[in-house]
Amino acid sequence: DQQVKQNSPSLSVQEGRISILNCDYTNSMFDYFLWYKKYPAEGPTFLISISSIKDKNEDGRFTVFLNKSAKHLSLHIVPSQPGDSAVYFCAASARMGTGANNLFFGTGTRLTVIP
Amino acid sequence: KAGVTQTPRYLIKTRGQQVTLSCSPISGHRSVSWYQQTPGQGLQFLFEYFSETQRNKGNFPGRFSGRQFSNSRSEMNVSTLELGDSALYLCASSSDRLNNEQFFGPGTRLTVL
């Protein structure tokens, strides 16, 4: 049972425009959410995270929004650059509730930024 | 700081064999987690080790096991390999602070023939 879902397997955006990647989750125990970026033949690279006590976290061109009532989060990249082209994974953990550190991942969205 | 390292990077085995993968976490990190990535299933949690103890385990058969040493380095073992075990095996380390990030290694690509 996939507890974290990324329903768009791919997304293409023009350079300079906004990229919006979406993620939904089902487990209300999740209290910490992360976005990772992955290039082929490399491990995922941490991008940005958000705790469930917040609804927005910003880091440079990357902003993550969390809507707990809808169990939805999104990653905004503005402006998008060709180097942002990669697979983006959404992940969640239920650290406070369970004390466990494992991450539940979505299946990823492949972002292509067109120059 | 050096990042998470995994060895070997690539491995080819045949069905029925067993394999051991190694992971060295970031210096100072005491938590090591293992994940399996396959095209159909994405990244799936295998287990986590902290201070040489398995702290958490995912939904994988007993053929998958691991251990952690006193220097926090970890090994993962898969016995009686099956074709479906072909995957990218990723190791991640974290400092175990509350709400911490996990930092991933490059992975070991295992192919079972």
A-to-B residue pairs, Cβ atoms closer than 8 angstroms: 65
Question: CB of B91 within 8 A of CB of B77?
Answer: no
Region B7-18: mean pLDDT is 97
Q: What is the pLDDT of residue A40?
A: 83
Q: What is the pLDDT of residue B39?
A: 80
More confident of the two residues B104 and A98: B104
Q: Do A32 and B102 touch (CB under 8 A)?
A: no
Handedness of CA A53, A58, A64, A70 (dihedral sign): positive
Residue-averaged pLDDT of chain B: 92
Residue B43, phi-psi category: left (phi > 0), alpha (psi -120 to 50), beta (remainder): beta
pLDDT 10s digits, B37-95:
988 778 899 999 999 999 889 999 999 999 999 999 999 999 999 999 999 999 999 98
pLDDT 10s digits, B33-44:
999 998 877 889
Residue of B nearest to A40 (CA): B106
Q: pLDDT tier at B99 (50, 70, 90 boundaries)?
A: low
Question: CB of B10 within 8 A of CB of B87?
Answer: no
d(CA B15, CA B82): 5
Q: Do B96 and A101 touch (CB under 8 A)?
A: yes
Q: Do B48 and A104 touch (CB under 8 A)?
A: no
Cβ-based contacts of A50 with chain B (< 8 Å): none
Provide the CB-side half-sphere exposure for B73 (13 A, CA). Answer: 10
Lowest mean pLDDT among A19-28, A40-49, B3-12: A40-49
Residue of A nearest to B33 (CA): A102
pLDDT 10s digits, A31-70:
899 999 999 878 999 999 999 999 999 999 999 999 999 9
Cβ-based contacts of A49 with chain B (< 8 Å): 99, 101
Contacts of A69 (CB under 8 A, 6+ apart): none
Chain B residues in contact with chain A using a Cβ-Cβ cutoff of 8 Å: 4, 31, 33, 35, 41-45, 48, 50, 55-56, 58, 90, 92, 94, 96, 98-107
Residue-averaged pLDDT of chain A: 92
Q: Are strands A10-14 and A109-114 parallel, antiparallel or unpaired?
A: parallel
Residue of A nearest to B42 (CA): A107
Among candidates B36, B42, B57, B47, which has minimal Cα distance to B112? Answer: B36
> How is residue B104 written in tokens?
């991933």
> Cβ of A50 under 8 Å from any chain B Cβ?
no
Q: What is the pLDDT of residue B7?
A: 96
Question: CB of A49 within 8 A of CB of B101?
Answer: yes
More confident of the two residues B32 and B97: B32
C-alpha distances out from residue A57 to A48, A74, A80, A97, B68, Å: 8, 11, 18, 22, 34
- A21 SS3 class: strand
Nearest to B99 among A43, A51, A103 (CB): A51
Q: Are strands A104-105 and A109-114 parallel, antiparallel or unpaired?
A: unpaired
Q: Do B99 and A49 touch (CB under 8 A)?
A: yes
The H or E element containing residue A98 is: helix A95-98
Q: DSSP string spanning B18-58?
A: -EEEEEEPPTT--EEEEEEEETTTEEEEEEEEETTEEEEE-
> Cβ of A108 under 8 Å from any chain B Cβ?
yes
Q: Do B42 and A89 touch (CB under 8 A)?
A: yes
